[in-house]
Chain A
Amino acid sequence: MQMREITYRQALNEALAEELARDPNVFLMGEEVAEYNGAYKVSQGLLERFGPKRIIDTPISENGFAGLGVGAAMVGLRPIIEFMTFSFSLVAFDQVVNNAPNMLTMSGGQFNIPITFRGPNGPAHQLGATHSHATECLYASVPGLKVCTPATPRDAKGLLKTAVRDNNPVLVLESELLYSSKGMVEPAETELLIPLGEAEVKREGSDVTIVCYAQTVALALAVAEKLEDEDISAEVLDLRSIKPLDERAIYDSVAKTHRVVIVEQDRPFCGVGAEVCYRIQKNIFDELDAPIGRVSQEDVPMPYNERLEKAVLPNAEKLIAAVKKVCYA
């Protein structure tokens, strides 16, 4: 099988096109997805190929079209709702948090909601406090919502396709900063489905486990490379899905390295890392040789100033320091 190098953007585009072609119940709706080909060009060419019935531009009405998606899903369509960014999903919070995930339980199992919410999530570059939200911790805390965070083109394609086929609401949290990144992906004709809830070891190591996802995967890999020079062998574990969480993969890695640092793009208070940390100490406390380290954003609204923004975000320096601390190096 000849793998090809494509961008994260193109991988998502392929996933959308393949699922639209496979199932006539699938449609894509959001702001600027059709005629403009997507604010970040993820839906490039889809209007031309699938027509305006299935690739649908909306007004700036997130609450409205997210809810429309949930309603359409109640009666069997499979909407893909694009948020121009997940910062704008906050305007539709009620639909995503209340209607989409509660319906199945509230109706005593009558209504599955096979909907996919997708779009870029997390801080990009100097977009300021309103436009830099990392929403994974908000959504992962809601029972009934599945949340995945692809970091590579391959994961982006495989997870998005799986999300569209899932019979319940899935959030695919992409990343603006990753859209142009490249990676190897199976040929277009092969069916690439990556299950939700499966982490992946992106790099093997023996001294410490770095748990990461989305934007922090590339950071963790770069840091692991650097640490090699200092004789620290770091294993990089990409969660890929925040919920369901692949606890098995986490415990397997920690049982091997006995030291963990979690590096996440969201905030420290009630962040994803807090949950992962709790589960590790609860379930495999005896495997730990050091307290768990954690690198996240600073606990402040995102400043516009570039230097301050950098100081708020996780970076190599902070991650290296955290790794050394848990390694007593």
Chain B
Amino acid sequence: MQPAEQRDEVEMLWLMLLIRRFEERASQQYQAQKIGGFCHLYIGQEAVVAGAIAAIRFDDYIITAYRDHAHALARGTSANACMAELFGKDTGCSRGLGGSMHFFDKEHHMYGGHAIVGAHVPLACGLAFACKYRNEDRVTLCFFGDGAINQGAFHEALNLAALFKLPVIFICENNLFAMGTSVERSTSLKQIVDRAEGYDIPGCVVDGMNFRHVRDTLSEVVESIRKDPHPAFVEVRTYRYRGHSMSDPASYRTKEQLEKYRLDDPITRLRAQLTREGKLTNEKFDELDKEAKRIALESVKFAEQSDEPPLEKLYDYTYV
């Protein structure tokens, strides 16, 4: 595996395109009722996971909430396995048993997809605890939303991480809303990052629409943790373009706000940076986008043609 910091930026732009095109397809397939249950899209937030992934090694751990398609794709789970999971197929990353909110991929060190808000934050401490226990220098990235910071589990986990000096980075993807509740209406602090201070955990704020800013900040944090295990907190300011889930019309926010963030689109931004620096041509970008679209479309075909999990499997993964 190449050192994280050197991961090619064009490749990371491609990842962001893949995430977006994949989710556009997922949205379409949800509307066609090929996908059931709840489905939460990540569109607009791509630079967060891409920047974070670019800052770590393959053997590091990641864990996240239910808005998890992008995290699996970023980890290297195939678009086919992701789409098949949404379709509830046996070829899905959780064998069709988890669905959109419960993506898992052990091989790629993706420890879920967790749908109870805040409940996976202590799990991240456990992953990090195990790494430290075994004297490994892996870091654990724990992603969660702005809504999760008011759960008891979150607070207990932060204290444990600080107390035990666990190599875990708490990444709060602050997209300004938890469902229809804005951060001002949910949280007593002006800045989410100030939560970290209360636990004596170093914290910083990052522009989540800027891939490089996310990557560079996290790279520094990761480096310091590898040298000397400790927790860190990163508040990433970002925005989701779509509603909370497929059934949310998002009437609690203004068109102007959405437009403001769309104009600051993370893909457009990285593209412009690379083009300006002569690292990307328009032709190359179009080629990448075409490829991302092709893979997303392929994944739908793959999911459609895959088998359902057999009924006999019902008890296969239940031990009692």
Bound state CA distance, A281 and B180, in angstroms? Answer: 50
A residues 71-99 touching B (CB-CB < 8 Å):
87-88, 90-91
B residues 78-94 touching A (CB-CB < 8 Å):
88-89, 94
Count, chain B residues at interface, CB 8 A: 39
In contact, B178 and A308 (Cβ under 8 angstroms): no
In contact, B181 and A308 (Cβ under 8 angstroms): no
In contact, B315 and A300 (Cβ under 8 angstroms): yes
Nearest CB on A from B69, distance (A): 14
Partner of B179, one of A31, A129, A303: A31
Bound state CA distance, A312 and B318, in angstroms? Answer: 13
Closest 10 CB pairs of A and B: A304-B99, A126-B36, A59-B150, A126-B37, A305-B88, A36-B180, A59-B186, A305-B96, A130-B115, A300-B318
Q: Is A279 an interface residue (CB 8 A)?
A: no
Nearest CB on B from A99, distance (A): 14
Q: Which residues of A contact B208 (CB under 8 A)?
A: none
A residues 29-87 touching B (CB-CB < 8 Å):
31-32, 35-36, 39, 57, 59-61, 63-64, 87
Chain A residues close to B by CB (< 8 Å): 31-32, 35-36, 39, 57, 59-61, 63-64, 87-88, 90-91, 125-131, 298-301, 303-308, 311-312
Stretch binding the partner chain, chosen from B162-170, B279-287, B305-313: B305-313
Bound state CA distance, A298 and B36, in angstroms? Answer: 21
The A contact surface, by secondary structure, is loop
Partner of B102, one of A35, A128, A307: A128
Partner of A36, one of B89, B114, B252: B252
In contact, B181 and A61 (Cβ under 8 angstroms): no
Bound state CA distance, A127 and B247, in angstroms? Answer: 14
Q: Is B231 an interface residue (CB 8 A)?
A: no
Q: Which residues of A contact B308 (CB under 8 A)?
A: 305, 307-308
Q: Is B116 an interface residue (CB 8 A)?
A: yes
- Nearest residue in B to A84 (C-beta to C-beta)? B179
Q: Which residues of B contact A305 (CB under 8 A)?
A: 88-89, 96-97, 99, 308-309
B residues 240-274 touching A (CB-CB < 8 Å):
252
Q: Which residues of B contact A64 (CB under 8 A)?
A: 150, 152
B279-320 Cβ-contact flags toward A at 8 Å (1 or 0): 000000000000000000000000000001101011100100
In contact, A61 and B318 (Cβ under 8 angstroms): no
In contact, A32 and B101 (Cβ under 8 angstroms): no
25 A-B pairs in the complex with CB atoms less than 8 angstroms apart: A31-B181, A35-B252, A57-B185, A59-B150, A59-B178, A60-B178, A87-B116, A91-B118, A91-B151, A125-B37, A126-B36, A127-B37, A128-B37, A128-B98, A128-B101, A128-B115, A131-B101, A303-B309, A303-B314, A305-B89, A305-B99, A306-B36, A306-B88, A307-B311, A312-B314
